[in-house]
Every structure is written in structure tokens, then in C-alpha cells.
Amino acid sequence: MTLWLIIRRSLRQHALSTLVSAGSIALAAGLMMCVWMVKTQAHAVFTATNTGFEAVLGARGSKLQLVLNAIFHLEASPGNVAASDYEAIKRHPAVRTAIPIAVGDNLRGYRIVGTLPEFFAVEYVPGKSFAVQPGGRFFTDGEREAVVGSFAARRLGLKIGDTFQPYHGLNFDPNALHEEVYTVTGVLAPTNTPADRVLWIPLSGVQTMSGHDPRAATDVSAVLIQLRAPTAGFMLDMMYNRQGNRLTLAFPVGTIIAELFNKISWFDRVLALVAGLVALVAAGSVLASSYSSMSARRRDLAILRALGAKRRTVFSAVLGEAAVIGMIGAVAGFAVYFLLYLGVAEVILAQTGVVLPVTAWHPVLAAAPLGMIGLCLLGGLLPAVQAYRLSVADTLAPTS
């Protein structure tokens, strides 16, 4: 009780430096947790996102570009796939489902994707199929109707019965308005997948949109594929990627995204380094704060010693103070972590439609706060040793 009273009062007496130190610890702990969690969760979520398809067939080019374009609706299409190629893969005995998509238009930056109604029957995660919110329905093939992803609908303010005119291109250009008018027939129930950011219209709508090249009116941008057996993917990989030279098969989708993460792993390391440096600066701040307050506290500590406090008591008081600063910082670090993580998750959601789980657990959520408390203890060690070695007589008593 006595030790806690000493620590509590000292922290209050030096409230400003306590707050600054705890704040820097919170920032460091929060930053470390956020960097780590975003990295691990993004890796886990993105590599698991395939909207129910194991492979993507597209024009010859980068597999990553193909996956980003067809699954995540991010990149430009690497080119078109001829209708005959689509028909061929559709009839292939190893293929269970082949759904074509066509891209090339947008509505105020949100991508418009043409596909077949069968797309909505696919389970985007095991056991879950696309559904429209109450009052809506999926579009009818061949009609100028649209089903809007939940995120896009919210951002664009679209609801059932609303109409819109697509803009040409994947990026919004107000001067590139198509003349066709589409009516919203449904809004997708949230799927937490990239499909939420898309306006879905019939395949033929994109293929025959005014201003599009009529020679490509039967082409598709990519074909999303479900296989009858996973091993079939290796056979198709051999057929399209090694023996053929016109098309690219991206398989398996998760592995291709994992390769992307490997390519940008240097960025993770830079972020981790920055977080580590912030942690060191925070620990240094505790050391500097404890050390500079020691001169002001020497007299108080000497008085405590004169009252009968043992050397180890004042040592513990100073070290305990550093630990409490660390603990306050660690607790506040969770607030910083959640704010940063929610911010990053919101950006990722807005950019990709992928939701990072907020309640995910990882050992770093324990290691980072405990590590910061450890660093604080290390920072408080030197002032604590000074307190331990304090001479009561020299500090307190004149030799009269």
C-alpha cells in the first residue's frame, strides 16, 4: 500500500511527463500491434479470398494481374478471351463451373462487371451464396438491369428502382458517359468480399455497350473457374501456361495472392522497423523522464529513507513508476491499435471490399504491450539504481 501510494503520488506530481511517456509508449505499442495485425490478417484474408473460384482464365499475361482484375476487381484486364476459348474451358471435363466476366465500365469509379446470372448461384465462401436484400431480385439476362454490391450501393446512394448510365473505362471520366440506362433491381446482401464494391450487369450489357469495339462483342475479360478436383488445376496449368501461349490460367488463386505478399514483404519489414524505432524512442523517453525527474525527487526519496524506507523500497518505487507508465501506455496502446487498425481496415474495405476481422487474436497483442512494459522497466533501471545509491545524509541533512 505504501509503495503504491508513493508511486501514485509521484506519477501525479509529474503528470505531464507521465502523460508524455505513457503516450509515446501507447503510440509505439499500438503501432507495433497494428503493423503486425494488418500484415497477418491481410495475408490471411486476401489469400483466402477467391469468391468461390479456384482458378481464373484470362489473356496471356501476369497471373497476379489476372487475379487482381477478375477476383479483386482492382487491376486492368490483361486482355480479352475469345468466346471460343470460353466455350472450350466451359466444356472441359475437369471444370465444374465456368463463369465469364466482362469489364470496361464504371459508375463514378465503382467498377461495372458483366456476368451471367449463374454467377450468383456460386458459393462465394463454403455454405454462402449471393443474396439480394429484401425487395430486390437478381438481374434478368439480356436486360438493362443491375445488381449493386452492398458497399457500392451505400457509397453511390443507389437503391432498388434507381437508374444510372455507365461511364466508359475503369477510371471515372465524366465525359465518357454511355447512353444506356440501367435500372437497379437489387442490392446484394453484404458478403465481405470484393463483390460488394461492384455493380453487376448482364454480360451482354458490357459486351455490346455503345462505344465498345463491336469486333469484341462476344469476347470476355476473364473466366472464373470452379474445378471438379483440385488436381485438375495442375493439368489445366500445364495445358494453358506451358503448352499454350495465348491464354493464362491463374491457379491456385490463394497462392498467387500469397506471392504478392511475398513481393511486398520488404514494406512490412520497413513498417516493423519504424515501429521498433518508435518503441526504442518511447523507452528512451521513459528513461529521460525518470532520469530528469530524479534531481527533483532526490529530496523526497531521501525523506522516505529517513522515515525508515529501505534502499530496495525506493529502488522499487522508481522502477514501479516506470512499470506503471509502461502499463498505462500498454493499455492506451490498445486504444491506439484499435483506432489505427479500424482506419486501415476501412481503407482496405473501401479499396478492395475485403474486411479485416477486428476481433482477431495474435500473440503480438500480448507480446507488444508486455515488451513495452519490459522496455519501460529497462528505461527505469538507471534512475532506480540512482535512487538505490542515494545518500540520505548528503541529500537531506546539513552537517551542522
Partner 1 sequence: MLEITDLKKSFRTPEGRMVEVVNLESFTFAAGAQAALRGESGSGKTTLLNLIAGIVTADSGTVRIDGAEMTALPEAGRDRLRAEKIGYIFQTFNLLQGHTALENVLLGMGFGPRGADRSQARQLLERVGLAHRLDHFPRQLSTGQQQRVAVARALANRPALVLADEPTGNLDRRHAAEALTLIREICRESGAALLLVSHDETALAQFGQVGDFAALNRAVREACA
156, 150, 73: which is closest to 352 by C-alpha?
Answer: 73
Contacts of 337 (CB under 8 A, 6+ apart): 29, 30, 33, 34, 37, 365
Give min distance, CB of 313 to partner 1, in A: 7
Q: In the complex, which residues of this chain contact partner 1 (CB under 8 A)? A: 1-2, 5-6, 9-10, 12-13, 299-300, 303-311, 313, 392-393, 396-400
Q: CB-wise, 1 or 16, nearer to partner 1?
A: 1
Q: CB-wise, 303 or 366, nearer to partner 1?
A: 303
Give min distance, CB of 324 to partner 1, in A: 15
Residues 301 and 383: their CA atoms lie apart, in Å, by: 12
Q: CB-wise, 5 or 121, nearer to partner 1?
A: 5
Strands 182-187 and 163-164: antiparallel
Give min distance, CB of 341 to partner 1, in A: 38
Q: CB-wise, 246 or 310, nearer to partner 1?
A: 310
Q: CB-wise, 41 or 293, nearer to partner 1?
A: 293
Q: Is the dihedral of CA 198, 203, 209, 212 positive or negative?
A: positive
Give min distance, CB of 291 to partner 1, in A: 18
Q: CB-wise, 5 or 366, nearer to partner 1?
A: 5
What the block records as the C-alpha cell of 98 is 465456368
Q: Which residues pair with 132 in a beta bridge?
A: 188
Q: CB-wise, 3 or 277, nearer to partner 1?
A: 3
Q: CB-wise, 43 or 311, nearer to partner 1?
A: 311
Give min distance, CB of 301 to partner 1, in A: 10
Residues 68 and 178: their CA atoms lie apart, in Å, by: 25
Give min distance, CB of 20 to partner 1, in A: 18
Give min distance, CB of 43 to partner 1, in A: 49
Give min distance, CB of 307 to partner 1, in A: 6
Cα dist. 263→47, 66, 169, 266 in Å? 14, 16, 28, 7
Cα dist. 146→110, 133, 153, 198, 242 in Å? 13, 13, 11, 10, 38
Give min distance, CB of 1 to partner 1, in A: 6
Q: CB-wise, 4 or 172, nearer to partner 1?
A: 4
Give min distance, CB of 19 to partner 1, in A: 16
Q: CB-wise, 7 or 373, nearer to partner 1?
A: 7
Which residue do the cell numbers 491464354 mark? 247
